Amino acid sequence: MIQEVDSPPYIIDINNLKRFDERKTVFGRMLHDEKAEYYRTGMYDEIEKVLSGNQKGYSRIEFAKVMGAWAVYDYFHKAFSWEKLNDANSIMNKPTLGKYPISDRAFMNKKIKGIAKKYGASLVGVTKINHSWIYSKDINGKTIEIPEEFRFAIVMAIRMDPTAINTSPTFTACAETAIAYSRIAFCIGCTAEFIRSLGYKAIPMGNDTALSIPLAIDAGLGELGRNGLLITPKYGPCVRLCKIFTDMSLTTDKPIVFGVNKYCKKCKKCAEACRANAIQVKEEPSFDIACPSNNPGIFRWTVNQNKCYKFWIENGGECSNCIAACPYFPINKRIKDTDEQ
């Protein structure tokens, strides 16, 4: 049973939790940390070796499909702009109108959700911004400061095709991940411009600027699973996340619980499916960290992202085994709203 709760369903140690430096993420360490085993090693650096293996699901054509799927996310940089877009590929002048007055915040909450879904979001929630979840520095070491006028986060989940993800870790699943990220760029780019066209400010982001999962939990989209991913009631972990910070005045959604933590204590299917042995098998979560890419001060099962990323290099692309193995995954969904949760 899905229940709304007053406080997010996670435990933090306020003495140890600090804003995380994005350079400590796997991709940040790949770029900057000379001590990382994968320093300056890209996920596709061994692709010729992978292709030469002639394995099913790893053909040259399938890899080209992956590259094509990333195109919008990789090259439509303006989707992530903090400022109103300009230099449009249009002969029409864009009108500048006054600020749209918001007298009913609940109405605007409902309207912004509908708009985001029209642009491709599968799930949308709104929360006040918890600055603990904003990165202290970006992946290039620049200090991140969000102006106080930005009070609300619109958090969105983009569903992935479970049939494609179920082929993980092949390139078919990798392409589906890439498609979701390119849909993220479209969704947040359009939604941010909608907000700006009403006279308000918007900072759209994918994995950058702030931690997506805790914001998604705060916004009522799901709970944190053993696999280190957001588990949603409808799509399980088969989603990708994005968010927009705004000064638009909105009502907020409550966090939810539906038994994920209790279920994950007994279920270890994601850990069993992990080819990198990166997911913990111990029954109880803790404050322990598994690698430098884990943010201290959060009570959960930490994932050894070093092991995870090294397998991605070996695989020539992302792995979604822990998503496909989860009982909340749409194809495997056998969990009902019963006491067994």
More confident: 154 or 95: 154
The whole-number pLDDT of residue 261 equals 95
303 pLDDT band, cuts 50/70/90, is: very high
Q: What is the pLDDT of residues 278-287, one digit of tens each?
A: 999 999 999 9
5, two tokens: 């709760």
* CA dihedral sign, ordered 205, 210, 214, 215: negative
Contacts of 302 (CB under 8 A, 6+ apart): 228, 280, 288, 289, 290, 291, 294
Instruction: Note whether 266 and 318 are within 8 A (CB).
Output: no
**Average pLDDT, integer, range 69-96:** 90
Distance (Å, rounded) from C-alpha 49 to C-alpha 71?
23
Q: Which of 93-97, 102-106, 196-200 has the lowest mean pLDDT?
A: 93-97
CA atoms of 103 and 269, how far apart (whole Å): 48
Give pLDDT, residue 311.
98
pLDDT of residue 67: 98
With a cut of 50, say whether residue 341 has pLDDT above it.
no
Q: Is pLDDT at 6 greater than 90 in this prediction? A: yes
Alpha carbons 166 and 177: distance in angstroms, whole number: 12
Phi, psi of 251 (to 5 degrees): -85, 160
By the 8 A CB rule, do 214 and 10 touch?
yes
Identify the band that residue 340 occupies on the pLDDT scale cut at 50, 70 and 90.
very low
- The number of helices, as runs of H, and strands, as runs of E, in the chain is 12, 8
φ, ψ at 246 (rounded to 5°)? -150, 160
**Residue pair 168/160 in contact by the 8 Å Cβ criterion:** no
For residue 267, give every residue at least 6 positions away whose Cβ sits within 8 Å of its Cβ, in sequence order, or none: 226, 327
The domains of the chain are located at 11-85+99-325
Overall average pLDDT of the 315-324 stretch = 98
